[in-house]
Structures are given as structure tokens and as C-alpha cells.
Amino acid sequence: MIKTLKNNKVSNHLMLIVFSLLMLYPVIWWVGASLKTTAEMSSPSIWPSTPIWENYTKGWQFSPEFTFGRFFGNTLLMELWNVVGGVLTSAIVAYGFARINFKFRGALFSILLLTMMLPGQVTIVPQYILYNKLQLMDSYIPLILPHFFGGGAFFIFLLVQFIRGIPRELDEAAKIDGSSVYGIFYRIVLPLIKPALVTVAIFTFIWSWDDFFAQMLYLNSVGKFTVGLALRMYVDQFEIQWGRLLAMSLLSVVPSVVLFFFAQKQFVEGIATTGLKG
Amino acid sequence: MLAATLGLTACGNGGANNGQSNAEGKSNNSDPNAPVKLKIMWQGADIRHQAMLKTQEVYTGLNPSVTFSPEYMAWDDYWKKLPTLAASHSLPDVLHMDGAYIQEYATRGTLEDLSDIDLTGVIDEKTLDNLKINGKLYGIPISRNAQGMAYNKEALEAAGIELPKKDWTWDEFFDFARNARAKLPEGVYPISDTDTWDFYEYYQMGYGKGTIIQEDGKKFNLDKDLFMKFYGIFAEFRDKKIVPPADMVSAFKENDPQADPMASGKVMTRGATVGSVGALEQLMPGKIDVVNLPVGPEGGGWAQPTIFLSVSTDSKHKDAAKAFIKWFVTDKKAGETYGTNFGIPIYDDVYNAIEPSLAPKEKLGKKLYDTAKDKALPFSPAAAGWTEWVDNYKKTMDAVLFGQKSLEEAYNDISKSGNALAEKLSKSSK
Amino acid sequence: MKAEAVHKPAAARLRLTKKKAKSSNRNNLAGYIFISPWLLGFLLLTVWPIIQSFYLSFTEYSLLEAPTWTGTQNYANIFKNDTDFTTSLKVTFIFVLFSVPLKLFFSLMVAMMLNKNLKGMNLYRTAIYFPSLIGGSIAVAALWRNMFNLNGYFNHVLSWFGIQGVGWITNPHTSLATLILLNTWQFGSTMVIFLAGLKQIPNELYESASVDGASKVRKFFHITLPMLSPVMFFNLVLGIIGSFQTFTAAFIVTQGGPINSTYMYALFLYDKAFKHYQMGYASALAWILLVIVALMTAINFLVSRYWVFYETDGGKQK
């Protein structure tokens, strides 16, 4: 019995290691390519003949005025607001849709879902004109604000599904103990959907990191650029500074990886703290 | 508000020697020293950004009342952002324009007519006339450009193949390909296949049948005989493996270190412009040389400016913007500051001042320009509203390359959509 | 509250609620307080651009000049003589049809694999999630091309099994399949949602099932799947909505080619709007897509009542 369990463990590890390596091939390629000269990029070998560390140092030293430190600072600050806004408001809105019967709930929920189905390409220009009229150009507000309004249909719907997975008897028990709907939300539901909230935080972070189109439209001064925008400056019409581009893009993934690494521990803790009874 | 009153009439004393163009402001009864902040936007790489910022600093030094609010980014983002700015009427005062886009922006009323900027003795009349759209000048050219070809000199010499010569004819070009095939190793090709409209158009124009899109997009002119003959030769080349197979061709991506037809070592020649040949030189340092495009009886290729500075109709400081542009193109000090960062400067005096300090890739660009100049025909970009037809031309020819369409079908598709579009545009303009 | 039809899926239940008009004033107030962040944002920031885009779909609008009213001409042109429309719709349907189930299946399998208490699981999870972290930058486009070109990584792996690969993304016969694969490779987000869902299933259920001597397979079908069904439903609905709007992969890797073989609807729409200066036409395309996706979603909600299981008081499946 113990032996098969052990074997099981070993084979599990083996499988996971092989699978991880397969998925990690891009990193290996990426690290190698980020140390190459542009002329060497075309060679099939993964590793450079002599590593060009300059891609990192010069790449970081973006221009005489700004380093990538500035861009990371800008992006992380924006992200902090996005994540706080997204996690906070999406849970509140989701609870309303999932647990409370109010007039026009069905209709409003359908509208919520419909807003996801219209491709953003056709609303972005009217939206830009709107923000332009509000004189919010060259600021992070147009980028952050939507996260404070429920964080978008995706997250609201996600949390609605999670909240509906929580046994109602918990609500009822709390109600008997004299809790209001607000109390139930805060003391019962919120702790129970922690894994889902962590998911919201991770996705908000990663997706706003990637959302270059809106950033490009709303940020004008280079001093306010995000990492994503700064990276795009390395891609000229004819000449791409491949070494620096790849080096800095690799660095730009690091915050997301670190965040994910630490945040996903919450999934493990998730079980311990919920302690649901069937 | 102050700027609108600044009223710098740039058509004052002409010539190239005015580093103090703000002095011309007195023709208007406004205060020339009223402060103006010009919004200016351009695209490029970091060296260009730095040079441009420096140039603006110099200008502000000479004209303390004029300061700048600069916005700059790389090519892709620039052209993605511009339409949205136009839609919200917030285009900058001064903006960078390109030959590939100026038609769309000019004919749709977003750009100011700059004909009143006097460039006598700076840019010749003929060049300026070529650049006019509906008789108006919507952008002041700042550098020269030309279309030619680059070839892998090192590899061709090693294989004992005679190098392309200046002013080679289309027949010589095809013969070069046939001869080189025999001497090159398998998997390496003398020329690439072609699927874009412009390369065929050079052929049609060279043989005197004119441009494909005429009268600002209201007339369509695709010569069937030349079309069938030109692509017939490429069909033969496809069979004889003188050009690469279709799926290799569709993987090519110019200036990408791994996917560039030449940098990847798969093809010996490709089209190049003054701007792009420098990038290729970076990918294969010291290995390449340039020649002009094959010529027909009428000539071949083009040599003319494609980078412009324009003033938007949204601007509230049009005169100040024009004065800056004039100074930018005609002043030697300006030229020394931005150097070759926008290509080979258009004004000879400015160019001669910086010529001694050219880098190898810039010299190659200049060589391309000089080679292409003699036989050059007018540059003919797609007219406004034709971008989609241009895309579809390529898709249709790709279907031919992959053997999914016959040449006859391709001709019919392309000319049908071209004629329909020309008809639609000529109707809507009436 | 107890009387609520708890086995019914969202849409059905919401409808029931309305019919019974059970909502009290107090509930109304609380409900609107809770959803107020979204409602405010919707009214202030979202609704106007949506109305605008609907209006623009009846105009010719180049962005560079003011829109001109053309009535239903855009819609007529789309349905009557736009072969790119039919092509891109076909390509997109094929993409959705294959990529949604593939991604769901694959990410559920991986989520189950990663839902174990093993040492170093943090690292495995992060490594496996990595491809989904890298987004859609130009660097990534280079990476993808490198993986799938003629002498790329993918063909290298195939050669271990004695298979001779082709230029996957540059061959019109394989390019779409490659994009589907690529999309599946970035299964991370779906997987993370599954993982969070798996974590929400009470361990007690498995424990008591073990006591009853249930097999692994039985546990999967009788505990995991039903308990996970709300999350599964979410991933399915969002997978379909998202796949219909797939853009990045086609945009940066294939640009829709070769010969339109990967010309996704969203890419076609983008080209129309920002490359060919036909925002009015693009808006009409967007609204057509909205109708299609809304129909698919409605069907999904209707069907979901037969398979999605929501937690209820004591309503455990035993």
C-alpha cells in the first residue's frame, strides 16, 4: 500500500517535470535570444556564442531621460489601483446579482453579459472621444476607472458563479443569528470566495499589463508610459532592436510570474479556511 | 489662442538662410513674442526621438516664445493612434506624415495646405509638383527616398554569379535569375516570388502602360497583356524552382532576423528602399550591395521624398507650425542637429554639411538613392480608399502562388474589384 | 428564499424570480446598492459608446472625417457581396468549434493534475502557467514563429516520433489548426479558474465517498463534475464569447494569412476599422457578431439547466 503510494508520487513528479519543461521551452529560447546580437538572431542555435549582457543594461537604460525603472514604477502603480478596484467592486456587484432578488435583475444581468459580446474595437473610439471631452488625456484615469466600476463583466460573472456554488444554508444560519445581507456578504461570502478573488486579482494584473491599445491611446508623454508601451518603442518601422526588446520583454514578465507564484498559494489555503460542511 | 494671432507668414524672404524665421512675424499686427506651445508628434526609433527633441530645443533657443509638447512612438503605434486622434479632433499642430498614408489624411480634410511655404531654391518645383494631391501640398518633404534592390554581394560573388548592374532591364533581371539558379545550391534562390501590387506596377509603368490607380483613385488601369506576361514568367520560375515555394514565401518577413528573405540566407535579392536598406545592412553587415529596380523602356522604380511634416486642420497655431517646418527643412543648424535621422535630408546645403559623418548603412542608402535617381519614374502610392484593394491583390496573388487560382481568374478578380472601386469613388466625388 | 428553484441555471432562475415578483422593496434597495458600482459605470462610461457604435453602423465613417448616414447599406453590403465576411465567419466558427472544447478538456485535466498536494507544486503550476502569462507582444510573435516554422521547436518534437513537419503557420492547410493549437497552449486562465473551482469543493465529500468505497472515476463523475459545473459553465460561456473575438494570435502571428486561411472575424473587423478607414462598416460587423454570440450564449443558458448544478441547502448529490 505504502509502496504504491510512493510510486504514484514519483510518477506524478516525473509527469509534472516533463510537462513543465515542455511548457518552459519558450523561456529557454527567450533567455538565449535575449543575449544575442541582432545578426545572430537568425542562427538556429538556442544559445548565443557570446552572451551580450548589454541587451539588458542598455535596454534598461531606455533613453537619456528615462530608464525602465520608471516604466515599471508607472505600471505597478497603475496595476495596484486596478487590482484593488477590480477585486473590491467585482465581489460587491457579483454578490448583488447572485444572492439578492431585486427588480430587473434578470434584464440587468443580460445587459451585463451583452456588454462583453460587442467587440471593443468599435467602442474604443467613442470612448476616447468621451474621455477627451472630460479632459482626461495623458492620465491613468481612463485606464484605472473601469476597474472601479465592477471590473468588467468577466469578473462579475465569474464571481456570480462562485458565489452560487456556496451553500445557501450558510446564509440562512447567519440570518438567524441576526446578520443583514451586508453582514452575510462580508462575513460569510467574502471569505469563502477567496480563491476566486485571487483569480480576479491575478487576471486583472496580467490582462491590464497586456492591454497596450488603451494605454497607447490614453498616455501621451513618454514619462508616463507603461512597460508595454516602452517595449513597443523598440520596434521601429524597419529596424527592431531585437536584443533589447527580448531582454526587456522577458523582464516585463517577471512581476506577473512572481505574483502568480505567490498568489496561487491561496488556492492551497483555500481548502483549509473554507471548511465547508456538506 | 495666442498662437492663432501669431501669424507667421512663412512665405517671406525665401531661401535657406533664415535661422530667425520668427522675425517674419511682423507682417501681422500681432505680438510675435506671445508664447506658443506647439503639439508635435512623430514616429521612429530612439535616436530619431533624441535628435528631434534636440532640434526642438535649438528652435526654442532661437525663438523663445515657441515651446513644444512632443509625443513620439514607433511606427505601428503611431499609425494606430492617429485615426483616433483625428476622430476626436485632437491631432497635434505638427505631425509626421508618410507617403503611404498622406493620401488618406489629405483627401479627408485633416491636413492643412502648405503651398504658401516658400521653398524656392530648396526643393525643386518638379519634386513639389509630384507631391501635390489635388493641386495642393499637404506635407513638406524632409528627406529623399528611393526604391531599388539589395543583393547579397558576398554570396553571389562566392558562387561566381555576375552581379546586377545599374539600369539593368527586366529581361536582364529574369536572365540573372535563370543563370543564377544553376550556380546556387539547392534551397537557395536568386530572387523571391512576388505577390504585391507595387512590384508588378513597376513593370507596367516601365513598359509605358502607366500606373494602375489613376486620377486619385477614380480610374483603374490594369494592362492584361503585361499582367499575364509578367506573372507567366513567375509561374515558369515557380516550376523551375527559380523562386522559392509558396509556403516559404509566405513565411518571409522583411527585416526580421529569422524571417527576412535575405538575412535568412534563402534569397539573394529583394526590394529595398533608402530607409529599409540600412536595417538590412544591420542584419548582414558588410555583405550587401544595392542596384536600382529593373527598368523598362520608360524607366523604373522611383526616387522621391516619402517623409513629410504636416500641419493638421485641428491646429490652433497654424502659422507658428508652418514657420517651424520651414526652419526645420531649410536651416543648416537644424539639419546638423537631426542629421540623417529622417533619411537623406532633402535640402542639398543641409545634406552636404553632414555628408562627411555618414555611417556605412547611411552611405548604402545614399548609394541606392543615387543609383535609382536617373531612371526613376513617379512614385505612385495607392490613392485614398484603396488600402483594401491593395490587401486583396496580395491575397489573390497568394492564391495563385499556392496553386489555388489560375492567373486568368486572378486577373479577373483583381480588375473586377479595382474597376468597381474606381467607379464607386468617381460617383461619390461628383 | 428557500422556495427558490435552486437546480435551475442562472437565466431560468432569474426569469422565475421576475415572474413571481417576490422581490421586496428592501431587497430592491440592497440589490441596487450592491450592483451600483457596475450600474454607475455602465451608465456613465459604457452605454454611450455602445449607442454610438450602433448609430455608426448605419453610417459611412472614415474616422478622419465626420460620419455620413447611409441607412442600412452597410448591412446590405455585408450580407450581399462581402466574401471576406463569409470567409472570416467560417474561419471563426471552425476556430470556436475546435478550440473551445479542446481548451476546456485540456485545462480541466491539467487543473486536476495540479490540484494535488505535492512538494514543489507551486513551481509546477507557475511553469505550466507561464505560456499564458506572456501575452501578445512582438517578442511573443517571434517566439511563436520560431516554434512553428519549418525548422522550429514543434517540428523538432514531432521528429522524435518520426513525423516530418511542415511550415505550420505558412501553409494554408495547417495555419488555422496551428492557431487553434496555439490557443490551447495558452490554456492557463481557464485552468486557473478550474483550479479555484476545484479548491471550493469540500473535501468532506471525497472523504465520505471514499468511506463508501467509491472509485476514482466514480468520484470524478459524481462529485467533481457536478460540483464544478457552475465553473465549467462559466468557462464554456466565456470561452465561446472570447473565441468569437479572438484577435491577438491571428494579428501578430499570421495577419490572417496565408490567403485568408486564418482571417478571424475580429481581425477582419479591425482591418476595416483601423486599416481601411471604414469604422461604420466595422460597427455593423460588430453588431452582427453581437447577435451571433448573444444567440449562442442564450442557447447555452437554456441548455445549462440540464447539466449545471448549483449548491443548495442540503442539496448534495449522493
Tell me the per-residue pLDDT of C264-284, one tens digit each, with 9 for 90 and over: 999 999 999 999 999 999 999
More confident residue, A171 or B394: B394
Interface of C with A in 154-213 (CB under 8 A): 189, 192-193, 195-197, 199-200, 202-205, 208
Q: Is residue B96 part of a domain?
A: yes
Taking CB atoms and an 8 Å cut-off, how many pairs form between chains A and B?
A: 85
Q: Does C77 touch chain B (CB under 8 A)?
A: no
pLDDT digits (tens, 9 = 90+) for C55-70: 999 999 999 999 999 9
Instruction: Using the 3D structure, point to which of B319, B338, B366 is the last residue of a domain.
Output: B366
* pLDDT reading at A1 higher than 60: no
Range of the domain at C227: 78-304
B73 to A229: CB separation less than 8 angstroms, yes or no: yes
In angstroms, the Cα distances linking C249 to A24, C144, C201, C301 are 19, 9, 34, 28
pLDDT of residue C145: 76
Helix (H) / strand (E) containing C59: strand C59-60
Q: Is residue B119 part of a domain?
A: yes
Interface test with A, best of B53, B69, B88 (most A CBs within 10 A): B88
C41 to A146: CB separation less than 8 angstroms, yes or no: yes
Asked if B286 and B211 sit in the same domain, the reply is yes
Q: Is residue B371 part of a domain?
A: no
Q: Is residue B69 part of a domain?
A: yes
Q: Is residue B90 part of a domain?
A: yes
Q: Nearest by CB to B88, from A132, A216, A239: name it.
A: A132
Asked if B274 and B222 sit in the same domain, the reply is yes
All structural domains of chain A with their residue ranges: 67-274
Q: Nearest by CB to C294, from A92, A109, A117: name it.
A: A117
Taking CB atoms and an 8 Å cut-off, how many pairs form between chains A and C?
A: 307
We report the CATH number of the domain holding residue B401 as 3.40.190.10
pLDDT of residue A6: 67
B398 to C257: CB separation less than 8 angstroms, yes or no: yes
pLDDT of residue C2: 35
Contacts of A261 in chain C (CB under 8 A): 122-123, 126
pLDDT digits (tens, 9 = 90+) for A176-212: 888 888 999 998 889 888 888 998 999 999 999 888 8
B255 to A221: CB separation less than 8 angstroms, yes or no: no
pLDDT of residue C248: 84
Contacts of C172 in chain B (CB under 8 A): 402, 404
Instruction: Please enumerate in sequence order all residues whose Cβ is within 8 A of that of B321, keeping only pairs 6 or more positions apart, or say none.
Output: B38, B93, B94, B311, B315
Specify whether the CB–CB gap between B4 and B36 falls below 8 A. Answer: no
Asked if B298 and B389 sit in the same domain, the reply is yes
Interface test with B, best of A30, A37, A232, A239 (most B CBs within 10 A): A239
Taking CB atoms and an 8 Å cut-off, how many pairs form between chains B and C?
A: 73
Ranges A20-24, B365-369, B392-396, C84-88: which has the least confidence: A20-24
Q: Nearest by CB to B108, from C65, C142, C276: name it.
A: C65
Instruction: Using the 3D structure, point to which of B338, B366, B394 is the last residue of a domain.
Output: B366
Asked if B157 and B127 sit in the same domain, the reply is no
How far is the alpha carbon of B118 from chain A, nearest alpha carbon, in Å? 31
How far is the alpha carbon of C250 from chain A, nearest alpha carbon, in Å? 15
- Residue of chain C nearest B413, judged by CA positions: C83
Mean pLDDT score of chain C:
85
* pLDDT reading at C253 higher than 90: no
pLDDT of residue C197: 87
Q: Is residue C58 part of a domain?
A: no
pLDDT grade, residue C108 (50/70/90)? very high
Q: Does B256 touch chain A (CB under 8 A)?
A: yes
Asked if B133 and B250 sit in the same domain, the reply is no
Interface test with C, best of A5, A24, A122 (most C CBs within 10 A): A122
Asked if B290 and B193 sit in the same domain, the reply is yes
Q: Is residue B173 part of a domain?
A: yes
- Residue of chain A nearest C24, judged by CA positions: A102
Parallel, antiparallel, or unpaired for β B94-98 and B36-43?
parallel
How far is the alpha carbon of B83 from chain C, nearest alpha carbon, in Å? 6
- Ramachandran region of residue A133, left (φ > 0), alpha (ψ -120 to 50) or beta? alpha
pLDDT of residue A2: 55
pLDDT digits (tens, 9 = 90+) for C128-175: 888 888 766 677 777 777 777 776 777 777 888 888 777 788 888 889
pLDDT of residue C117: 80
- Residue of chain B nearest C254, judged by CA positions: B251
A146 to C45: CB separation less than 8 angstroms, yes or no: yes
C258 to B391: CB separation less than 8 angstroms, yes or no: no
**Pick from C199, C238, C235, C201: which is nearest to A264 by CA?**
C199
How far is the alpha carbon of C88 from chain B, nearest alpha carbon, in Å? 14
Asked if B245 and B140 sit in the same domain, the reply is no
Contacts of C131 in chain A (CB under 8 A): 23, 26
We report the CATH number of the domain holding residue C174 as 1.10.3720.10
Q: Which chains reach chain A with 3 or more Cβ–Cβ distances below 8 angstroms? A: B, C
pLDDT of residue A4: 61
- Residue of chain A nearest C131, judged by CA positions: A23
Count up the domains in chain C and report the number: 1
Contacts of A102 in chain C (CB under 8 A): 23, 27-32, 35
CATH topology classification for A67-274: MetI-like fold (1.10.3720)
Q: Does A71 touch chain B (CB under 8 A)?
A: no
Retrieve residue A62's grid coordinates. 531606455
C231 to A165: CB separation less than 8 angstroms, yes or no: yes
- For chain B, the three-class secondary structure string (H helix, E strand, C coil) is CCHHHCCCCCCCCCCCCCCCHHHHHHHCCCCCCCCEEEEEEEECCHHHHHHHHHHHHHHHHHCCCEEEEEEEECHHHHHHHHHHHHHCCCCCCEEEEECCCHHHHHHCCCECCCCCCCCCCCCCHHHHHHHCECCECCCEECEECEEEEEEEHHHHHHCCCCCCCCCCEHHHHHHHHHHHHHHCCCCCECCCCCCCHHHHHHHHHHCCCCCCEEHHHCEECCCHHHHHHHHHHHHHHHHCCCCCCHHHHCCCCCCCCCCCCCCCCCECEEEEEHHHHHHHHHHCCCCEEEEECCEECCECCCECCCEEEEEECCCCCHHHHHHHHHHHHHCHHHHHHHCCECEEECCHHHHHHHHHHCCHHHHHHHHHHHHHHCCCCCCCCCCCCCHHHHHHHHHHHHHHHCCCCCHHHHHHHHHHHHHHHHHHHHHHCC
Distance of CA B388 to the CA centre of its chain: 19
The strand pairing partners of B345, in sequence order, are: B143
Q: Is residue B169 part of a domain?
A: yes
Q: Does A239 touch chain B (CB under 8 A)?
A: yes
pLDDT grade, residue A30 (50/70/90)? confident
Q: Does B264 touch chain A (CB under 8 A)?
A: yes
- Residue of chain A nearest B274, judged by CA positions: A238
What is the mean pLDDT for each group of 10 consecutive residues in chain B (430 residues)? 32 35 41 84 92 95 95 93 94 95 93 93 87 92 93 95 95 96 94 95 96 93 96 96 92 85 93 90 91 95 93 94 95 88 86 84 90 92 92 95 95 96 84
Count up the domains in chain B and report the number: 2
pLDDT digits (tens, 9 = 90+) for C170-221: 888 889 998 898 888 888 889 999 988 888 788 888 888 888 888 888 989 9
CA distance A260 to B88: 39
Asked if B57 and B203 sit in the same domain, the reply is no
Ranges A108-122, A170-184, C124-138, C284-298: which has the least confidence: C124-138
Asked if B237 and B279 sit in the same domain, the reply is yes
Mean pLDDT calculated for residue range A85-109: 94
Range of the domain at B26: 3-144+305-366
